[in-house]
Amino acid sequence: MLDETAPLAQMQRVQGRAGAVIGPGGRLKRLWQQGSGKAMLPRMHGRAPEVVFLNTAGGLTGGDRLDYTLELEAGGHAVGTTQTAERAYRSRDGSARVDTRLRVGAGARLHWLPQEVIVFEGAGLDRQLTVDMVGDAELVMLETLVLGRAAMGERLGDIALTDRRRVIRDGRLAMVEALGIGPEDLARAGAAGLSGAVALATLVVFAPDAGDRLDRLRAALPPMGVVRAAASAWDGRIVARFMASEAWPLRIAVARAVETVTGGPLPRVWQI
């Protein structure tokens, strides 16, 4: 007979750490990984090295913790990405936590281009990304969220999502963004809410010539339709926002924008 008063079993939780330090010429200086966090460097030919992060647990739920670090020394050039989309599953207790730290040395170029995070119904997710960069370095940074699984007809009604991003440039705070999505935001109609969007992306460029790339980026943005997108530039940066009622058109639009601002190909692990 089932004893409904018995305490729930203690579930095993993910604890993962991974990171790499890349020197001039793309030379790997240091690599570490622990638990479910992995960092791989596929063999590349004629292009910048790619550091591919992977959570071998296959997804995140309440109480899980991932820590990723990627550092480029002065003059280094690398691409950071994830092997596949990360998935935030239903959480029974608390939120999963993902902390990412990026460091970009003098004259270095880091393109941080992870694949999307897919948020399932009932998920709890707390993400934080911190960048410390030198002023003459280049940083291209992408973050993409997909709310629900379109193939399953899932429409989210109850999630707890917190997403924070901070960029420190030459020791001064250059950007702070905080996004919180809960049940009330999912239910709110119109421009004050998500306005029907199920996929969101932000693409940021910090570079001495960032403003010179704005016209090319705007020309690459899709006309207003399924995907809504806009970009602006000021103070040595570009910020582009994307939102869409379907995830795949947004992915295509974001991919084109990334290729435009970086002047190079997408990470090899992306499936486009």
Judged on CB neighbours under 10 Å (0-12, 13-18, 19+), 76 is buried
Rg of the chain taking only CA atoms, in angstroms? 19
pLDDT at 117: 96
pLDDT over 90 percentage in the chain: 80
Over range 119-143, report the average pLDDT.
Answer: 97
Predicted TM-score (pTM) of this structure: 0.92
Question: Under DSSP, is residue 258 helix (H, G, I), strand (E, B) or coil?
Answer: helix
Cα–Cα distance measured from residue 259 to residue 265, given in angstroms and rounded to the nearest whole number: 6
Question: Under DSSP, is residue 249 helix (H, G, I), strand (E, B) or coil?
Answer: helix
> Structure tokens of 204?
């940021």
Residue 26 DSSP label: G
pLDDT exceeds cutoff 80 at 1: no
β-pairing verdict for 160-169 and 172-181: antiparallel
> Structure tokens of 219?
């020309």
The DSSP code sequence of 161-208 is EEEEEEEEETTEEEEEEEEEE-HHHHH--STTTTTT-SEEEEEEEE-T
Phi, psi for residue 252 in degrees, rounded to 5: -65, -45
More confident residue, 156 or 100: 100
Torsion of CA 32, 38, 41, 42, to 10 degrees: 160
Query: For residue 62, how many C-alpha atoms fall within 13 Å in the half-sphere facing its CB?
Result: 14
Judged on CB neighbours under 10 Å (0-12, 13-18, 19+), 62 is buried
Digit-coded pLDDT (tens) for 142-195: 999 999 887 677 788 899 999 999 999 999 999 999 999 998 888 877 666 678
In contact, 199 and 144? CB cutoff 8 Å: yes
Cα–Cα distance measured from residue 32 to residue 56, given in angstroms and rounded to the nearest whole number: 15
pLDDT at 185: 85
Digit-coded pLDDT (tens) for 20-57: 999 998 899 999 999 999 999 998 888 899 999 999 99
β-pairing verdict for 96-104 and 65-72: parallel
Residue 178 sits at the vertex; the CA angle it makes with 227 and 186, to the nearest 5 degrees, is 55
Q: Select from 204, 131, 136, 114 the least CA-distant residue to 166.
A: 131
